[in-house]
Amino acid sequence: MSETFTFEGDVPNLLNTVFNPLLTNKEIFLRELILNAADAMTIIQDEAVSDPGVLEMEQELAIRVTLDKENDVLTVEDSGVGMTKRDLIHFLGTVSRSGTLGLLEAREDEGRNPDPLHVFGRFGIGFYSAFCVSYKVRVVSKCYSDIQYIWESEVGGPFTVSRDADMMHGEINRGSKVICFLKEDSLEFLDETILDELLTRHSESIGTSIVLVTKRRFGGAAGFL
C-alpha cells in the first residue's frame, strides 16, 4: 500500500524557477544523476571502513545506465548506500528555502542572473533535474539496513512511497535505481551514440566506469555496449 505525500519547502517552485531555464541544456540531468550515484557509492565505502558488513549484500560498486526503447525509459542505477523509507521521504521530498531558492532570490535582488548550474552539486538538489526530461520519475531503493521501497512522482504532483512488494524492476541487493519516463521531446536520450558520448565524458569526471545497457527484444536478452 502506497502513502501519498506533499512536497515540503519549495520543491514545486524549484522545478519552475531553477529547472525550466535548463530545457535548452537538458543533458545536465544525466550528469546530476550520475553524480548522485557516485556520491552514494562513496558513502557506502566510507561506512565500510568502520563496518565492513555493509558490503556483504553487494560487493560490486558500479553505475549502470539502461535504455528501454520500447517503453521510452532511461534508468540510472548504482550499488551505493541506498535509501530507507525515511530517507526517500526526507531527501526527495524536501528542499530548504534557506538553501537553493534563497540563493537564487538573493542573486536576483543583487541584479545578477541566477545560475542553475552553480546551484547543482553545491546544494545536492540535482535529482530534480530529472523532471526536465521526464513526465514521471520513479526511484527504487534499498539500504543495507532496510527493505526495498519505491518513490514516485509526476511533474507538478505529490509523491508516493510504498514497500516494493512486487519488485517489478527487479530485486536490489543494495543501492538505487532512478527510472525516468521520458517526455516525447527528450527521446534523444535513448540514442546509444549520444549516451555513449555523454557517459564517457561524465565517467572521466567521477573516476568511475559506467556501463551502458540497451534492452532489446532478443528473446528477453539485453544488449550490452
Question: Which tens digit of pLDDT belongs to each residue from 25-73?
Answer: 788 889 889 988 998 999 999 999 999 999 999 999 999 999 999 999 9
Q: Scanning the structure block, which residue is given the C-alpha cell 544488449?
A: 223
Q: Scanning the structure block, which residue is given the C-alpha cell 547543482?
A: 120
Question: Which tens digit of pLDDT belongs to each residue from 82-124?
Answer: 999 998 988 888 764 434 444 344 444 545 444 444 333 333 4
**Cα separation, 75 vs 64, whole angstroms:** 8
pTM reported for the whole predicted model: 0.83
Question: Which tens digit of pLDDT belongs to each residue from 6-27?
Answer: 877 666 566 666 556 555 678 8
CATH class of 3-224: alpha beta
Quick one: how many helices (H) and strands (E) in the chain? 6, 11
CA angle in degrees (0–180, nearest 5) for 162-45-78: 45
